[in-house]
Structure 1
């Protein structure tokens, strides 16, 4: 097999207990909002023809958001655990940097094209999306941790020197 063939890199969903707890709390909060239109419909004089579509809209929008947040917390747990167990230290060289304006008034998002390698990590290319950082510039060398099994990576050094 040619080096890198069939293997793609994936940026890890990385977060500690606090981030996972926040995601779970947000998911439960979304789910607690779902019955509110039904309660309002049955406890006030809102006509059924107005309340039912609102309830349906809330179900179709808010319920899936809560489910997505819940499973995102699971992905954080899995990726973080894998990188702590099987991750290898590596160096990520910034090959290309693009700052993307999300268009909603929030800070720019950095899209980095990286070349990652290390002692126990065969070289591969990856794309990283995250908050813009002054450290991100072409040619910069960043700490990374990689699970070489499938090139799951995070731009953090998880190993104590």
Structure 2
């Protein structure tokens, strides 16, 4: 029954303080261009080109960041309300470096009651506590394919 296979989504936990910080950053990105344009029109400042550039570049990025955070918060609420406890076992470790940030890649096997065991990959900051064979707690919502590893 390969057609019935669940496509799992690994969700990051976003706390209230973290959400405020991300929403604040997104709001700053969204407003930076329009504020510059407004200042140009009201004060006659020589920032028209910068206001246009900031609006064209930062507004879509800020909206995308805001939307992504909203989706992750909703997924976390679903996991908190309907998730079942699970165990995620580290089956493999690797390193990753994308030029801006570096960390480790964890190959995880997630198992528990009420859903078939599955494997997923998680990129995160390096930690001496994580080794092959380490078991960590997880929460899974098998009905919609969400998973969150709690460290």
TM-score by structure 1 length?
0.80
- Hey, what does 1:80 align to over in structure 2? 76
Alignment of 1:20-99 (within 5 A): 20-42=19-41, 43-44=43-44, 46=46, 51-99=47-95
- Hey, what does 2:15 align to over in structure 1? 16
Deviation at 1:44, TM superposition (A): 4.4
> CA–CA distance in 2 between the matches of 1:122 and 1:91?
12
> CA–CA distance in 2 between the matches of 1:92 and 1:72?
25
SS in 2 for 1:34: helix
> CA–CA distance in 2 between the matches of 1:21 and 1:128?
24
SS in 1 for 2:150: coil
1:115 to 109, 126, 131: 109
SS in 2 for 1:133: coil
The number of aligned residues is 150
Structure 2 unaligned blocks of 5 or more: none
TM-score by structure 2 length?
0.84
Structure 1 unaligned blocks of 5 or more: none
2:146 to 135, 152, 159: 152
User: Given that residues 33 and 51 in structure 2 are in contact (C-alpha distance below 8 angstroms), is that contact kept between their aligned partners in structure 1?
Assistant: yes
